[in-house]
Amino acid sequence: MATQKRGVRGLSAVAAVAAVGTGIVTGVLTTLATQRQALGSLRARIEHLEETERNQSLANIAQQQRLHLDLLSKAMDDPELAEVLDTYEETVPPGKQRQFLFANALYTNALCYYRIGNITREEFYGFARGILQNPIFREYWYATRPHRATLIDTSDEAELGRMVDGLLRQLEEADSDEWWVIGEPPAAD
């Protein structure tokens, strides 16, 4: 009988250890599941915050573009205000200054469209290739070269400006009147 009791006690001890082990495993699995759910929730919150930040950035760019166009419009309507923007190396007559301001508005509008994702880099290139057919725009582009030289080299505006500079060189060197095929459009974004 003593042997039999010892065997039952041994089984009880094993069962108790197994029950404790099962409890620990269950606790660990429950904790892991809770942590996984919390991480998923945090990841979703971070993605939401990043999306909100992107949207705010785009809204800021759009607001800045509206302000820029308002200022250019005022300068185009008032020759005295336009004088403030006359920072060219040579004297620019008031009529030409208004044309330059309008050229700036066209270009910065396309730049804004690119920045907010409404057009691709290739579409921007197509816009530039078309607008460079206008002699007034080319004159504006040459007159503002020193302004672009002050841009930070890695900015979108500097990169696109260099792209337009290269395209203008290719257009001027081309022997063809088929301007729409001059230059190699950039790779898709």
The pTM of the full predicted model, rounded to 2 decimals, is 0.71
Record the tokens describing residue 168, joined without a space. Answer: 């203008």
Specify the pLDDT at position 33: 87
Per-residue pLDDT tens digits for 143-185: 999 999 998 888 889 999 999 999 999 988 887 777 777 777 7
Record the tokens describing residue 120, joined without a space. Answer: 């691709």
Long-range contacts of 62-67 (CB under 8 A, 24+ apart): 62/112, 62/116, 65/108, 65/109, 65/112
The more confidently predicted of residues 1 and 16 is 16
Per-residue pLDDT tens digits for 98-127: 999 999 999 999 999 999 999 999 999 999
**Rounded to an integer, what distance in angstroms lies between the CA atom of residue 2 and that of residue 32?**
45
Per-residue pLDDT tens digits for 24-41: 988 888 888 888 888 888
Torsion-angle region of 55 (φ positive above 0: left; ψ -120 to 50: alpha; else: beta): alpha
